[in-house]
Structure 1
Amino acid sequence: MTDSAESTADPKRIQDALASVDQACEQKLLTAGAVTNIKSWLTEDRYSDYRESVLRHIDEKKWQKLDDVFWTIIPFGTGGRRGRMYEIGSNAINDRTIGESAQGLADYVVRFHGGKKSLSCAIAYDTRHQSRHFTELCAEVMVAAGIKVYLLDDYRATPQLSFAVRYLGCDCGIMVTASHNPPSDNAVKVYWSSGAQVLPPHDKAIIDGVMSCQEIKRGNFKQALADGMIEVVTDKIDAAFLDAASACAFEGPRDVKILYSPLHGVGEAAVVPLLQRDGFNDITVYEPHRERSGDFPNVPGHVSNPENPEVFTKPIEQARAEGFDVVLATDPDCDRLGVAAPLTTDSSGQWETFTGNQIAALLADYVLRKTPESKKNKNSFVVKTLVTTELVRRIADSYSVRCVGDLLVGYKYIAEAMDREGPDDFLYGCEESHGYLVGSYVRDKDGAVACMLMSELAADLKANNQSMHDYLGELFKKFGYHRENLVNVVMEGSEGMASMQALMKAFREKPPTSLGGVKVAQVRDYGNQTATTLGDAGESKPLEGPVGNLIIMDLEQDGNYVAVRPSGTEPKVKFYVFTRLDPAESQDLKAANVKLGDRIAAIEEDVRAFAKLATA
C-alpha cells in the first residue's frame, strides 16, 4: 500500500488519467469491463491506497497489464477466490481482493451468529509466495471484527485446516493456497463451521459482502498475538490430526518401499508422520522436490500438479534404480494424491502413473474390501462427483454399498453429502481430480490419508506378489474396461469469458449429433435441469439432480459420455471424456485399451472442432 500522502493524488492528474483510459478504450486497448473497474479504483475512496499505483500504470501506458488485471472482478469459484497475484486490480490477487474476501467472510459470520459472544476462525497457509503475508492480513481482519483466530503458524496442509475448524469448534476457516496452480497464483479457500468449503446459502451471502465491501478493517497482528486474540495452535493440531487420520488405517502388511514427493509443498509434515504411525518404516522423501518453495523449482513448467505424469519422470528414475515399490506425490497444499508404480512386480522394469479416476477405483475397491462387514449396512455409502468414473459405482454395487454420485464438481459437495447421508455410514469419497478421503475427521479431500491408504494397498499387493497395474486390470475384466480423459480448452481474458459463454450456449442449443463416430443419444443440462433426447423423436423432460453449469452428452453406447463445464478456478473449459467396454470385450486388456484410446482420440478431435466453430 501507499501512504496517505501518496494516496491523495492531484485531481487534475486523476482527470487526465480518466481521459487516457477513455482514449485507450476507443483505441480498443482496454475492454469495457476494465474501463469501469479502473475508473472505480481511481475515484472511489475505498481504493485510495492503490490509486498511485494505478496512475503510474496509466502514465506508463501499460494497457495490456491493466486490461488483464481489471477486465472483471475476480470471482468465487469451486474453491474460493483464486488468481494471479499483482499489486493492483479487481481481477488479481492482492491486498485489496484478499482483504475484501476476509472482510466479507467476517461481516457475514458476525451477522449470521447475531449476538454470539465468542466467535473464532482457524487460518492456515502453504508455501506459496505471499501466503504468510495474506495470512496476517486475514487474521487482522478477523480480529478487528471481534473474531478470535486460531493460527497454524507454519506451512500446513489444507485438510489440517479443515480438521482444525472442526476440532476447535470454529465458526469459519481460511486456507491461503492456490493448490496446484502456477507460482504466479495465490488464493483463499473459505470454510464454514462444518469444516467444508462454503456452500449455499452461505457462499452467496459471503460473496455479496465481498462485492459490496467498502472498508477493510484491520487489527494489529502482533498486538492480537500478545492479547490472545490470535492463538498459535500448530503443535496441538498436528498431534490431534495425526491421531484422527491414523485411526482410519486398515490392518495388513507394511513391507513396502515408498518414495514420496511433496512437490515443494507442505506435504512432508503431514504425510511422513502419518505413514510412520501406520507402521511404514521404509520411506524416502524425494530430495529434489523436498525444498518448501513457492517457485516449485524442480518440477516441469514449475507447476506442482500430481495430475501431470511428467512430475513423476525423475522420481521414477530413482525408484527404478533403487528398488522402490511405489512413488507417491501430493500437491503443494497436500489435498491431492498422484501415484506411479511398476507395471509388474519387477521395480526395475517399466513404470506408469495412474489417472485420478484409476486411483479412485483402486482405493474404492481396497477400502470396501478391507472394511469389516460389521461396519457395512444398508446405509453404508461412498461418494463421488458426476465427472468421476462410474467404475467406482460398479465397485460399490459389488459390495452392496450405496454410491452417492449425482454431485457437481467440488469436494464441498462430497462433504455436504457426507453430512446429509450420515457421516457414521460414510466409507469413502473421491473425485477425478485426485482427491480422496476416508473417515469423518475432516470435510475435505486429504492427500495424507490417501498416501496412507495407497501405501497399505501397495504392501498388500506386494505380499500377494501382484502389481498395482495388474490389480487394476482385474477390476477392468470384472466390471468392464473404463478409460477416461480430460480435455482442457484454455480461454483467457475478457474475450475468453465471452468464448466460454458462447461455447456453453452452443452445447445447450445445438449440441453435436455424434462424437467420435458414436451418436449422441441424450443431453443432460444441469443448468436448465432438462434431459433432451436427440434424433427425430427428440423430447425434453425434467432432469433430477443438482443445479450447475454442467452439460453431459450421453452416447448411444452404454457408459460412454462427455461432460463439459467451465472451470471454477481457471480460465478454461473442461471436457471430461468417459469410455467403457462391457466385460466380455475387456478380457484382452491391451486390445481394449487400444480400442478405447482410439475412441477417446476421435471424441477429442470432434470436441475441439466443435469448440473452435462455436467460438469463432
Structure 2
Amino acid sequence: MDKNAILDRAKEYITKETNPLFSAEVEKLLTAGDFTELEDRFYRNLEFGTGGLRGVIGGGYNRMNTLVVKSATQGLAGYLLKAVPGKAAAGTLKAVIAYDSRHYSAEFAEASALIFAANGIKAYLFSSLRPTPELSFAIRYLGCDTGIVVTASHNPPQYNGYKAYWNDGSQVIPPHDQGIIDEVNAVTEIKEISQDEALRRGFLEIIDREVDEPYQSMVKSRLFRPDLIKAKAGEVKIVYTPLHGTGAKHVEKVLGDLGLKVITVPEQREGNGDFPTVAFPNPEEAAALDMAIQLGKKEKADVVMATDPDADRFGIAVPDKDRGRKAYTLLTGNQLGALLADYIFLSLNELGKMPAKPVMVNTIVTTGMQKRVAASYGVECIECLTGFKWIADVMRRYEQDGSGKTFVFGTEESYGFLVETEVRDKDGVSAAALTAEMTLYWRSLGKSLLNRLDELYRKNGYWQELGISKYFPGPEGPAIMKGIMDTYRSNPPAILGGIKVTGVRDLARGSGELPASDVLQFFLEDGTVVSARPSGTEPKIKFYATCCADVGKGGLQAAREEAARKLEAIKGDINRVIGN
C-alpha cells in the first residue's frame, strides 16, 4: 500500500473513531510524520479471524480500539440477524458479553453490548470482570444466541482481543466463522444506541450473581469425592494466583466452599491490565508463577495454582523432594492433562459411573501419552485441530449423531482442560477444583502428584514435549511465515534431529475427520511427532514436538535423558530454518 493510501486511511480513521484517545494517537503520528508507525497501523485491517480479534491496543485499523470493536460487533450482529431469521423477526435474539482485566476491556465490552442493543438484540453485560468459561456457561444458561468475551488471554499488556461464541457456548467454527468474517468485512454503517435508551427499552441487562452462583454450583457438582474433601480438606494447603486477572472471585469461592485453605498471592489478586508483577501473565511460563512459588515455599503449600487473565488456562507447581526441600516443579499442560485424565477415568470406574462409550478429546499437538492413559481405561481418544473450539465441535457431534459416545474429558497441551459439558471452552476454575480433589485423593493413598506421574510414565513410557515460537511482526510477517510453511511443504525434511521422517500429514485440505488447516505434521521413525502451524491470533509460527522414550531397564532418568537429546536435536534443525 503506497504512502498516500496509508495517509488517507489514517485521516479517514480519525473521522470515524469516537474515542478521543485513539484518534489523538493517530493525529499525533500524522503531525510528526511518523510514516513507519502509520504504515504498521494502517497497511491492513486487524483481521477478524476464525476466533475473533486480537492485537495491540491503539488507534488505527490494524489495532484494537473502539472503532474496530464496534465494526466487528456490527458484523456479528448482522450475521446473527440473517442466520436466525425467525428469532430476528420475533425480536427474541440474545447475546451475552464478558470481559477481563485488560486495558479498555470494560469499554470494549460496553460498546459491543450497545451495538447488539441498537440492532434489536438483547444484550446481557456482566457488571465486572468475569472468566471466559463463565461466558461460555452463561450463553447456555441464559439461552443466548451468541456471546463475546473481551480478552487477549495470556498475551502481554499491550494486547487486547475479542472472542466470538455461538449458541452452544463454543467459539464459532465453519460455516459461522466465515459468515461472520464476511459480514464484518462488509460493514459500512454501525448502528448505535445510548446506554440509557438500551436499558429503558429492555435491550440491555446488567448481570452478575444470577449467573455466578449457578456457575459455581455447577463446578462443585462435577467433583467425584465431596465426602473425601469434607473429611480431609484441612490436609492440603493451596497457594493461588490469578495473575492480575479474573480468576480470584470463583477459585476462592469454590475452593473455600469446599473447606480447602486457599492463600491467594496478595500482589496479584486484583485485576490489573498492566500485569505489574509478571512479564507474561501466562501460567505456562515458569517466571509467571515465581511469586506464587515463593509464597508456596513460605506457607509449605502442597500445590501452587495459577490461572491466566481470563481464567481459561490453568497451571500448577508442586513440591519436588528430589530437587530439594523447598523446590517446586511446574507441570506442563501435557503432564497435568495426563494426571487429570487418569484421575477422571479411575474415578468413573471406581464409582461405577463410566459411560458405555466414553470419549476423551485432545488436539493433534497434545502428548501421545494421554492416548495410552485413555486406552488403559478403555476410553477412546479422539484427536482434533488445535483450539478448544474443535474439542467443543466433537462434543456437539457426539451429542447429535446417535453414536452413543459420551464426552468425559477434553484437554490441550497449552494448559487447557474441560471436565464438564455445561461449558464449551477450557475452564481453569473447574480444573482448579478437580486438581485440588485429585491432590487430596493421592495424598490419602500416601502419594504426591509427582509420584503418580512417575507411575504413569513407567506404565506408558516417558513422554516429553518441545514448543518453539517465532514472531514475525510487521507488514512482511505473514509472507515470511507463508514462506516457511511453503518450504516445508515443497521440500519436507527426510530427517529431523537425526531421526528418519517416515510420514508427512498436510492438513491444508483436511484429512479424515479433521477440517482444513494450515498445519504440517512429520512422523518420525521412533514415534516422535513434529507439528508446524502459524498462530491464528498472533504474528508467529509455532512448532511442537512430542516424543517417547522407553523406561525399560534404564529407568526414568535414562528415559528423560534420551528424550531430551532427541528434542534438542530436533530443536536445532527447526531453528536453522526459522532463524532462531
Name the SS of the counterpart of 1:189 in structure 2.
Answer: strand
Distance in 1 (alpha carbons) for counterparts of 2:183 and 2:121: 17
What is the one-letter code of the residue matched to 1:153?
S
**Which residue in the other structure is 1:121 paired with?**
95
Kindly indicate whether the alpha-carbon contact (under 8 Å) linking 2:551 and 2:558 is maintained by their aligned counterparts in 1: no
Whether the 8 Å CA contact 2:51–2:177 is kept in 1: the answer is: no
Q: More displaced, 339-348 or 355-364?
A: 339-348
Aligned AA (2:53): R
Q: Deviations over 1:96-150 (max 9, x none)?
A: 2111110011111111111421111001111111111111110110000000011
Counterpart for residue 258 of structure 1: 238
Aligned partner of residue 310 in structure 2, secondary structure:
coil
- Alpha-carbon distance, 1:58 to partner: 2.6
Q: CA deviation at 1:349?
A: 3.0
Aligned counterparts of 1:544 and 1:222: Cα–Cα separation in 2:
48
- Per-residue CA deviation, residues 379-415 of structure 1 (Å, 9 max, x unaligned), is 211110101111111111110011111x111100001
Tell me the CA shift for residue 52 of structure 1: 7.8
Checking the alignment, whether the CA contact within 8 Å between 1:42 and 1:48 is kept in structure 2 is no
Which position in structure 2 is the counterpart of 1:500? 481
C-alpha change, 1:459 and 1:374, in structure 2 (3 Å) is closer
What amino acid sits opposite 1:612 in the alignment? G
Indicate conservation of the 8 Å contact 1:41/1:47, yes or no: no
Contact 1:512–1:610 at 8 Å: present in 2 too? Answer: no
Q: 1:233/1:366 Cα in 2 relative to 1: closer, same or farther (>3 Å)?
A: same
Moved more, 474-483 or 456-465: 456-465
Bigger shift: residues 217-226 or 444-453: 217-226
* TM-score normalised by structure 1 residue count: 0.87
Q: Which residue of 2 aligns with 1:220?
A: 194
Shift of 1:366: 0.8
Q: Residues 152 and 544 from structure 1, CA distance in 2 versus in 1: closer, same or farther, beyond 3 angstroms?
A: closer
Answer yes or no: is the 8 Å Cα contact 1:324–1:347 preserved in 2.
no
Which residue is equivalent to 1:537?
Answer: none
**Is 2:221 aligned against 1:247?**
yes
Residue 561 of structure 1 deviates from its aligned partner by: 1.4
Report the counterpart of residue 557 of structure 2 in structure 1.
590
Is this contact kept in 1: 2:94–2:123, CA < 8 A? Answer: yes
CA shift at 1:417, angstroms? 0.5
State the match for 1:363 in structure 2.
Answer: 340
Q: What are the superposed Cα offsets for residues 547-570 of structure 1, whole Å, 9 maximum, x if unpaired?
A: 100000111112x01100001111
Correspondence for 1:385: 363
Q: Is 1:197 matched with 2:171?
A: yes
Partner of 2:557, secondary structure, is helix
Q: Distance in 1 between matches of 2:3 and 2:344?
A: 50
Give the Cα separation in 2 of the matches to 1:205 and 1:35. Answer: 32
Q: Is 1:556 aligned to residue 556 of structure 2? A: no
Partners of 1:382 and 1:404 within 8 A in 2: yes
Distance 1:126 1:545 in 2: 32
Q: Aligned partners of 2:313, 2:8: CA distance in 1, in Å?
A: 40
Match of 2:572, as an amino acid?
A: E
Q: Alpha-carbon deviation of 1:376?
A: 2.1
- May I ask how many residue pairs the two structures share in their alignment? 563
Task: Determine if contact 1:364/1:395 at 8 Å carries over to the other structure.
Answer: yes
Q: Distance in 2 between matches of 1:417 and 1:584?
A: 36
Cα deviation 1:247-303 (Å, max 9, x = unaligned): 1011034331000101000101111111123x233111111211211111112x2x2
Question: Given that residues 344 and 469 in structure 1 are in contact (C-alpha distance below 8 angstroms), is that contact kept between their aligned partners in structure 2?
Answer: no
Deviation at 1:229, TM superposition (A): 1.6
Q: Does structure 2 conserve the Cα–Cα contact (< 8 Å) formed by 1:79 and 1:410?
A: no
User: Does the residue aligned with 1:521 lie in a helix, a strand or coil?
Assistant: strand
| Contact 2:408-2:419 at 8 Å conserved across structures | yes
Structure 1 counterpart SS, 2:239: strand
Q: Does 1:466 align with 2:447?
A: yes
Q: Where does 1:11-410 land on structure 2 (aligned, <5 Å)?
A: 32=1, 36=5, 38-42=7-11, 47=16, 54=26, 56-77=28-49, 79-87=51-59, 89-116=60-87, 117=90, 118-251=92-225, 252-253=228-229, 254=233, 255-277=235-257, 279-299=258-278, 301=279, 303-344=280-321, 348-372=325-349, 374-405=352-383, 407-410=384-387
SS across alignment from 1:72:
coil
1:580 corresponds to: 548
Amino acid at match of 1:510: N
Between the aligned partners of 1:107 and 1:351, the Cα distance in structure 2 is 51
Given that residues 365 and 544 in structure 2 are in contact (C-alpha distance below 8 angstroms), is that contact kept between their aligned partners in structure 1? yes
Counterparts of 1:420-439 in structure 2, within 5 Å, are: 420-422=397-399, 425-439=406-420
Residues 313/485 of structure 1: CA separation in 2 closer, same or farther (3 Å cut): same
Q: 2:444 and 2:423 mapped to 1: Cα distance?
A: 31
- Distance in 2 of aligned mates of 1:246 and 1:296: 29
Normalising by structure 2, report the TM-score: 0.93
SS in 2 for 1:154: coil
Could you say what secondary structure the match of 1:39 adopts?
Answer: helix
Could you give the per-residue CA deviations for residues 529-579 of structure 1, whole angstroms, max 9, x where no partner exists? 4xxxxxxxxxxxx76632100000111112x01100001111110000111
Contact preservation (8 Å) 2:255, 2:261: no
Retained in 1: the 8 A contact 2:74–2:191?
A: yes
Greater shift after overlay, 58-67 or 601-610? 58-67
Deviation at 1:358, TM superposition (A): 0.8
Contact residue 360 and residue 410 of structure 2 kept, 8 A: yes
Q: Against the structure 1 CA distance between its residues 209 and 232, is the aligned structure 2 distance closer, same or farther, given a 3 Å change threshold?
A: same
Q: Which runs of 5 or more residues in structure 1 are unaligned?
A: 1-31, 530-541
Structure 2 gaps of 5+ residues are: none
**CA–CA distance in structure 2, aligned partners of residues 359 and 473 of structure 1:** 12
- Give the Cα–Cα distance (whole angstroms) in 1 for the partners of residues 492 and 140 of structure 2: 44
1:319–1:347 CA contact under 8 A, matched in 2: no
